[in-house]
Structures are given as structure tokens and as C-alpha cells.
Amino acid sequence: MTDMILSHANIFLAPIAGLVIIMVDCHKKRSADGVSKLLLMLTIGFTLAHIASELLFDILNARRSSEFTIGMSWAANTFYFMSQSLAFGFMVLLLVYITRGDKSNLRTRFYFVAAVWCVNLTMLIANLFTGKIFTVTREVLYARGELFSVQIILFYFMLLILIVDTFVYRKQITGEIFALLLVSVAPSAIGSLFDMLDTDLRMTQPSFFVSLLFAYLFIVRRMTLIDNLTGANNRRSCDEFLSSISKSARRKDYSFIMADMDKFKEINDTYGHAQGDEALKDAAEVLRASVRKFDLVARYGGDEFIIIAATKETDVILSHITEGLKNFNAKKTRPYQLSISCGGGLYAPDDPRTPMEFMEHVDGLMYAKKTERRR
């Protein structure tokens, strides 16, 4: 029996180790948004509980049936379905929030997911008396009931909430993130479908782990580095990049450019905050189009942006920005002219200043340029 228990335990070592690594990685990112971190931790916590309940059932299944074993099997299987529902629900809420960054929208979606949890809990409590979802006997410690498929349907209902939310707000997320969302939930959807069709398969737990791992690596970690409004990198992403330059052996030249929108408050006051948001998006797009795809363009705060590019051609980038603004304003798509003040400098490997100190120097050049324009 010990060999059997160890054999079953080995199956869970990889997902447990993976979940612990995700937790440690998330905890280290102290600048991460508190809501997304909480939702991720809840998802991982209930996933670990789900794994523990399945491992407990395997241990019970290896023992001789007794009243204690039967009672524990009821408890293990009930907790299995409950923790599975909670883990997937929190992952859905995490993906909704991380791609939208909207707490009010998250609150609305939480009510839908919580309703599913309440239905699931009610069914599991009723199952203790009816055995409609699963049943436990002395002969068989687990057997599916006639309403087992309802559990899977509830699972897909939460998935539907994510899909509908993604389609409704698809204009606010990139096509790449939209595709990643669909791909991330696909393993869980396919795994649970196989479980519903074949009683001998146990695909829900490993397929959910694959979905969670994919979502964390390709969506959560990515979105925590992106400014939700403009699609540019955010300040945290910039700070991490500056830190990487500081810690590495500097062998490259970097062009640092600070950019600040002119008369942004006037746009907000005259045309409203919605147009102000559009102006920020337009500015970010002009700046991104002025550099290569792998160069850093980050919204550093408010209407201020920073560009860090591994090139000596600072003046070329500045001229691209000027030309980009000229072309944008010529189209007259907005009721105002977009204007950006820039200050730039070349950060050489032998520069004694830290990357942050050099950025502050460039920031001063930008404000001098802005002051000169006001005269």
C-alpha cells in the first residue's frame, strides 16, 4: 500500500512544485497590483486544496474499506469538487481583472461567479443525502451519480462568463491577448470534457494546472508590465528594465528619451477626460512607431513617457517622433493638435551615473525643452 501511495504522490509532485514556484515568483514582485496578487494566491491556494483532496482519496482508496474510510471518502470527494469550482472561479476573475484593470467590472463578474459557487455548494450538500453527483459505498469508494455532468456544466458556465466579457470588451484588449485568453482556458475545457465522457480519465486537475501555468506565464506576468490605457509598458516595467541595466555589465549604448505631452490639462478641461485618454493613446502610438518593436516605450506616469533603446541614434528617434506627430496632426482625426516635448541623451557604458540618475538628467532636459516652448 505504501508503494501505491508513493506512486500516486509522485503524480502530484510536478504541479505542486509548479504552483509553489508561481507563488514565490508572484510574492517577489512587490510592485504587483494587490487585487491581481490576491486573486492569483486564492487560485493557487484552492488548486493546492484540490490536489490535496485528490491525493487523500487515492490514499483512502488504497486502504481496506471501513466506516471511517467511507466517511473520509465522502469528505474528500465533496471537498474535491468544491475546491475545483473555487479555483477555476478565481482564475476566471483573475483573467477578467488582469486584462481590464477595472475593479467595478470585476465586482459585477464576481456576483456571477459567486452565484455559480452557491449552486455548486448547494448541490454538494444535497449530494450527501441523495448521491446524485457521486456516491460512496463499502464496495466502491467513488461512483458517479446521474447529475455528475451538471458539475461540468457549471464549470463551463464560469468559462462562458470569461468568454462573454472578453468579446464585450474586445476593443480594449489586443488581439494577441484575446488569443492568449482563449488558449489559456482551452486545456481546462478539453480536460473536463474528457472527464465527462470517460469515467476512467482524470484529466480535470492536470489540465487545469496547464491552464493556470499558461495564464500566469503568458498573460498575468505580461499584463502586470503593461499600462492598461495606452498599451505601452508601465512604470514597473521601466523600473525593472533600469534595474537590469544597472546590474548587468554595461557594454551597450542606450538612448534615453523622456517625453511629456504639451497642454494635456487643456485637452482634458476643454474636450473631457475621454478625449484626454484618447490623446494619451495617440501619444503612445506615435512614440511606439518611432522606435523598433523591441525597444522600451513606457508610460512613466500621468502624461509622461520614457523611451530606452539600445542604439546611439538618439537624434534619429527624436526626428522620428517629430515626423510622427506631424503626420498624425495632418490627418486631423482629433479636435486638437497633439504636441510632445522631448529630451534625450546617450547613456554610454563609461558613464559614471546610474541608469536612474541618467534618466533624471534626461528628464531635466525635457522640462527645459518644455519651458522653452512656453516662452
- Helix H, strand E, coil C: the string for 116-143 is HHHHHHHHHHHHHHHCCCEECCCCCCCE
Could you give the residue ranges of the DSSP H alpha helices within the chain?
A: 2-28, 34-61, 67-100, 103-130, 148-168, 175-197, 204-215, 221-223, 235-247, 264-271, 273-289, 314-331, 355-374
Is residue 217 pLDDT above 90, yes or no? no
Specify whether the CB–CB gap between 246 and 353 falls below 8 A: no
pLDDT of residue 267: 92
pLDDT of residue 163: 80
**What is the amino acid identity at position 152?**
I
Whole-number CA gyration radius for the chain: 27
For residue 146, give the DSSP letter.
T
If you average pLDDT over residues 298-311, what whole number do you get?
Answer: 92
Instruction: Measure the CA–CA gap between 180 and 216, rounded to whole angstroms.
Output: 11
pLDDT tens-digit readout, 103-140: 777 888 899 999 999 999 999 999 999 999 999 988 88
Total-model pTM: 0.68
Is residue 91 pLDDT above 70, yes or no? yes
Is residue 326 pLDDT above 90, yes or no? yes
Is residue 309 pLDDT above 70, yes or no? yes
pLDDT of residue 174: 65
Tell me whether residue 146 is exposed, middle or buried, using C-beta atoms within 10 angstroms of its C-beta: 0 to 12, 13 to 18, 19 or more: exposed
If you average pLDDT over residues 147-172, what whole number do you get?
Answer: 80
If you average pLDDT over residues 146-165, what whole number do you get?
Answer: 85
Per-residue pLDDT band at 339 (split at 50, 70, 90): very high
The overall average pLDDT reported for the chain is 84
pLDDT of residue 85: 92
The cell numbers describing 277, all together, are 485618454
pLDDT of residue 16: 79
The strands making up 254-261's β-sheet, listed across from edge to edge, are: 296-301, 304-309, 254-261, 340-347
The cell numbers describing 269, all together, are 478641461
Per-residue pLDDT band at 249 (split at 50, 70, 90): low
Per-residue pLDDT band at 171 (split at 50, 70, 90): low
Instruction: Measure the CA–CA gap between 356 and 258, rounded to whole angstroms.
Output: 12
pLDDT of residue 358: 93
Domains of the chain: 2-223 (1.20.1070.10), 235-374 (3.30.70.270)
Instruction: Measure the CA–CA gap between 112 and 104, rounded to whole angstroms.
Output: 13
Instruction: Measure the CA–CA gap between 95 and 288, rounded to whole angstroms.
Output: 26
If you average pLDDT over residues 52-75, what whole number do you get?
Answer: 82
Residue carrying C-alpha cell 484529466:
203
pLDDT of residue 225: 79
117 to each of 8, 85, 96, 340, how far by Cα in Å?
A: 29, 7, 17, 50
Is residue 29 pLDDT above 70, yes or no? no
Instruction: Measure the CA–CA gap between 116 and 157, rounded to whole angstroms.
Output: 8
